[in-house]
């Protein structure tokens, strides 16, 4: 296989750790923005997804090379597609969902549109995207595979760890994954403590109260 089609995939151990952590905790744990904007949401299958990114940058209005990235994708991969700003042309439909499910892929994230919504729902392969439209795309142009792309307002690199659920989608660089996981676990301990305090009738933590008092003084 052409080397440009290969990515460095994260270990199953780190993927399993990330799967057990709330996506909001992971987002909070990063010291830079790893969260896609509010337009990227689950349209098909709202279960949590976690997997390494295969990236694809299409020419606007064309989707020929979606077939190529489906061919090279491996079980557990997440296909992430930059449509170059296309809003009117679907780059994904029920047949591509069927292919992805047959290959046991994790999900597809599309900064753009899909179609065949009823068929996609029946297949139930996870799709996160912006739009659902009627019009198809042309299938005649080259595209770039496994390069840094833009999706949901952030940069996604091949091999980044993609996490998605009802809250949205984040992209964790592999080199930052361990640090983000450690911080996220600390965040979840803090949230658990706050939840216990609320159940005991303590509605404002001491640290938050001190901040409020300092602003009001």
CB atoms within 10 A of CB 104: 11
Q: Which distant-in-sequence residues (6+ apart) come within 8 Å of 186 by Cβ?
A: 29
Q: Is 115 annotated as a binding residue?
A: yes
Closest Cα to residue 83, out of 39, 31, 121?
39
Q: How far is CA 58 from CA 134, 151, 201, in A?
A: 19, 12, 54
Cα–Cα nearest to 101, from 81, 83, 119: 119
Quickly tell me which residue has 């064309």 as its tokens.
62
Q: At what angle do helices 12-19 and 177-199 cross, to 10 degrees?
A: 20
DSSP string covering 124-179, please?
T--EEESEE-S---B-----EESS-EEETTEEE-TT-EEEEETTEEEEE-GGGHHH
Distances, alpha carbon 1 to alpha carbons 75, 141, 159, 184, in Å:
16, 21, 17, 37
Position of tokens 């061919």? 71
Annotated binding site for Mg(2+): 116
Binding site, annotated residues: 115-116
Residue ranges of the binding site for substrate? 115
């Amino acid at each position: 296989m052409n080397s440009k089609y290969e990515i460095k995939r994260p270990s199953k151990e780190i993927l399993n750790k990330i799967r057990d952590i709330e996506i909001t905790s992971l987002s909070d744990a990063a010291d830079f923005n790893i969260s896609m904007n509010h337009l990227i949401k689950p349209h098909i299958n709202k279960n949590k997804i976690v997997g390494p990114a295969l990236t694809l940058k299409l020419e606007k209005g064309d989707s020929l090379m979606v077939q190529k990235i489906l061919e090279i994708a491996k079980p557990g991969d997440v296909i992430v597609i930059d449509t170059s700003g296309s809003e009117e042309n679907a780059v994904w439909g029920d047949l591509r969902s069927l292919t992805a499910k047959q290959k046991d892929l994790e999900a597809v994230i599309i900064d753009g549109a899909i179609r065949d919504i009823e068929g996609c729902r029946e297949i139930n392969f996870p799709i996160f995207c912006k739009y659902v439209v009627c019009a198809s795309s042309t299938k005649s142009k080259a595209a770039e595979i496994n390069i840094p792309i833009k999706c949901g307002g952030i940069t996604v690199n091949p091999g980044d760890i993609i996490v998605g659920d009802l809250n949205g989608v984040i992209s964790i660089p592999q080199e930052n994954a361990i640090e983000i996981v450690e911080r996220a676990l600390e965040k979840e301990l803090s949230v658990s403590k706050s939840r216990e305090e609320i159940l005991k009738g303590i509605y404002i933590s001491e640290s938050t109260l001190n901040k409020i008092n300092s602003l009001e003084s």
